[in-house]
Structure 1
Amino acid sequence: MIKKWLEIIFDHKVSLRERMFRLVTGISMVALIFILILGRYTGNLFLLAGSLIYMYIVAKISIQKEAINAGATATVILLLVLFPVVFFTGGGIYGGVPEWFVLCFIYISVTLEGRRKPLFFLLCIAETLICYYIAYHYPELLIPTTTAQAYFDSVRSVILAGVLTSVLLLFQNHLYEVENKLTIQQKKEIEELNQAENHFFSSMSHEIRTPINTIIGLNEMILRGDISDDIAENARNIQGASKMLLTLINDILDLSKIKSGKMEIVNTSYETGELFSEIVNMIWIKAREKGLEFRLQVDPSMPSMLCGDEVRIKQVLVNLLNNAVKYTKEGSVTLSVRCERVGVNRVRVWYSVEDTGLGVKKENIPYIFDAFKRVDEKKNRHIEGTGLGLSIVKQLVELMNGEISVNSVYMNGSTFLVTLEQDIMNEKELGTFTLTSRTKVHEGAQYQRTFEAPDAHLLVVDDNEMNLLVVSKLLSDTKIHIDTASSAAECLKLTQYQHYDCILMDHLMPEMDGIECLHALHAQPGGLCQDVPVIALTANAGSDNQQLYRKEGFSGYLAKPISGALLEAAVLSILPKELVHLSEVASQSEIGKDVLIFEQAKRISLMVTTDSVCDLPESLRKEFGIKICPYYICTEQGRFLDNSELMAEELLSHIAEGNEGNSHPPEVEDYEKFFARRLNEAQNVIHITMAKHVSEGYHNAVEAAKSFENVTVIDSGHLSSSMGLSVLYAAYMAEHHASKDEIIKTVKKLRRYISSAFIIDSTHMMCRAGQISRKIQIMCDALLLHPVIVLRKSRMAVGSMEMGSFNHVIKGYIKKVLLHPGAIDRRILFITYAGMDDKSLQYIQELVRQYCPFERVYLQKASSAIACNCGPGSFGLLFMRKNDALITYSDAGK
């Protein structure tokens, strides 16, 4: 019986609640044997026998009837009745009974559920207090016990109660450990099942796309020919059905990716006009075919370029518009877009899709975004679809941190509203965007060749013979010489003896797949196609696969099934221009804008970037391709970008009127976005910042760089144009193909050879910026003191104090800075200033020529972020001191 009882407790197939009830009830029955013996009353033995029988019957019935809570309640009532009896017959607090009151609390905590648990907990507390109260005020009601007997009962109770409680806890811990292991195992099995499901969907997608590619490709060849109207209509129906099947596959694949958490949002810059044009071209013909009016309303203030996941935004809007067209019998479908600024470089965009269709019943609106569920099946049974579209739309919007809502009146149409926040990439407004200016008529359009390339050679690699046939036929009118290879081995054999201008390669091939073949092609000894662009033409669709192909070194990516126009556009974008003869239709259209040709092949190896506080002339920044991350200027009117939205003169005038104005470095998120954009243009980025102890810019940039493997942040140890000198030197080295390590080493070495010394006219701005105390500022004003600020070990320090009128001390400052002209590198000097007139600048230049003439002198206005800290009338002479190793390296670029 005990063995069977233990087997049930450890059987995970039995519910955890039942097992815990069995365990605690069994321990309570053992405890009663010891508790009732404590009473000095013979009747306790009868109580013991009756209680054990009662508890056994209650436990058995409650388990059979699955009424655990009722059985536990009956047992607790028994315990609450027994404990006072034993308490008074066992000598009260002088016996060993009080320790057993704890058992009642444990039983209640483990077995009861719902409102009964706190109720009986309070009853147990009340009973304990009443027993103690009566024993204290009416000791004559207790059966007396000797001191020796009391000590014996107490120690026995403590030990037994401790042992039984420990056994309970050990069993409980064991049960939870077993359950936890089972949970982990089940979670692992679920994950494996999800992986198997995702693999199945991916494989099915690949397997289904391959024959669809053949159907769509060969069907397009039929449409290109001179055929009768009946055959053309049949071919167009085949084309429509194929695309519908392809949409279904894409929806199922997207849903599986979202469920598994593998759907990634890839934010890139895109043109809003192009996005709306593509959506219009996909929807307005469908609306016209149903006799619906398609309206487009776009906010003219919409920025012309934003940063977001263009593919997913398009998918969301097209899904909503397709739904609107499907469920609307007559009337109109309207796409409205408006935006609102929510930050310096950020907008909130509202996309509204409104129709005059069936609408949704009020009770069905909560279920409208559920997968596979179609509301009002009776009225919508004639409408094609799976019910996946809106579910995917909602999940995609949430992945992009947006919101979607629906307003609908049954039989009077619906309005779906999507809200997304995106970064502004180009402030230029989109302007008037009309439907008539953006639509393109497709229906009945005849195929027109976009180019010819009779001298070009193309290799197509695919293990499916029908795919090879489709590509060859679709490109036949371009007169390209096309060779085919049905395996990677055959591809490598052909490229050993024949040069190709472009290669289209499948990914999933037996023995050696497309990625392995690409790597072998690049490393092929004596191969003639090591540097030839290779486009992945594969049924392995998805944004994550796009990233895979980009990373592995493909020049582009095309998903099957592929249209002839898109295939021609892809090949055209890769072929050498001298081999291509464009047709008139190609010259007049924007061929290639829909083709995903990776920019990786066009990215430079290394880019040097910096912050707007580098104070470099725009001409030098453009010459060396130096990209700038702007600091912020904060005033009562808001936050502005340094130099682009608020110039130094405007800021100084604003502060002179008694207003606030201070600088802030870019936040970590700003640097992350900046680095991400730069890595679209370069494989590696070296970012040079202001001295790390002067600004938080360095620390924010370092934190942001942790998100990227190929971004290095360096502390210049300087600020303003002296920091700019480091940037120029690094950019020059990058332009002349120096390695990343060489540049980093040189920039760190330059800290010792760059002269940073600024003289301040008035210390008021420095005081407001917290650089000096109010007392020092008052003393400088009273004694006509002008501090000379220098940079030492990335910290600002006062190098000296000049006394007198500012015009008087300028000469002494210049003389001291240029004291040893023989040690000065005279190739370049920056006179960087804030709020100075032309006459003062001319005077400074004349003094510089007297003491140490330079080959090139730049008069550079300080950025707003620098000017608001030093104030008007301040300037610095910034140059490099001689170092033979550094001079030797850059002599060629003098």
Structure 2
Amino acid sequence: RGDIKKLHKIFRHLLENAVKFTRYGGVYVKMYSENTDYGVNLCIEMTDTGIGMDAKALRQITEGMYQANKKRNRDSGGIGLGLFIVYGFAHRMGGFVKIDSERENGTTVRVTIPQKVVDARPCLLLKESFDSAVLFHVRPDKYKVPKLRDFYRSMAANLASGIHVPLYPAETIYELDRLIEKMNVSHIFMGQEEYEENRDSFEELAKEDIVVAVSAGPDLKVPADSKVMLMPKPLYAYPIIRILNEGKDATGLDAPKNIEKPDFDGVKALIVDDEPMNLVVARSLFQEYRMVVDIAGSGRESISKFRNNDYDIVFMDHMMPEMDGVEAMKQIKAVARDLGRNVAVIALTANAVSGAREMFMEEGFDGFIAKPINISDFERVVVRALSGGVADKGGDNR
């Protein structure tokens, strides 16, 4: 038992901070509990391969001396407003925060919060014990950042020990073939690149008694008669457990059952953000809704693109150099009036402090979505913008 809203905010701010300051590599999230006399300590670890922080930045966080930098220069160090919010929430809930960081060598943030246990049953559980072998096929040499190799190995080891599954790593196709010959293999989990390199072989295996599951992005194409199972990125424990329990009968791994996604097919969207990683993440998400997506790396570029293209909706970051999102939004709306267009401009920003939504709406935005993007918020805001007459599907309304 705890404050789920505060826990959710802690998690989101940790993830936002890690992604914001990580240009290369990735982010590894680990959540676990430690038994105590009063219940458990809920532990959240967020490790990134980003630019890291020096001793001065760490002191600023622990001593509460942070001052917002409106220029938001990420090269100055991986310190963001989100970490101060995390500190505040953790302390109010009786917990603590520990940060290990080094310039150019990434950051690990560990948040520990005491919780009471209402139901001691595990949330993820295998239906029966495993006598067969489960293989984990990821080539570590494909990652230029060494820590990514450790992330995948740690995830596999933690999963195997947590649910007591005989999980064996196979880092090369030769190791995989050798293990299949020597052992009774029931499942193979792998990355998208590994599947694509030996597509025909894995398709044949999947048609036999072996369950083949691939952690894949939306761009992966499989044959029409494929028996390979797809686990949408980012990879986490739930779809793996479902596949282990249900085998080839596991369906709907990419969304909760009985929940229908809204259809944004043909909606022309422009995403504006000065951080390339944010553009990659948002573009991938929006394309899953069949939007036609374009991107701009600055406020000025977004105005230029809007003059020359018909967009139904614009998602605008707030804090950008040279021209912030508010000014860019106002200029885009002025251009829209001159050209006789209707467009919805949605604030898409990490500035989610109290009163932020009201501030953006007063400035003239048609909606507000906090980063990291919550799917429910995204769907609700876009449906409202498109159905409320602010914008119409299909572009220019002249």
Name the TM-score class by shorter chain. Answer: 0.3 to 0.5
TM-score, length of structure 1 as denominator length = 0.18
TM-score, length of structure 2 as denominator length = 0.38
Decide which structure has greater helix share.
1
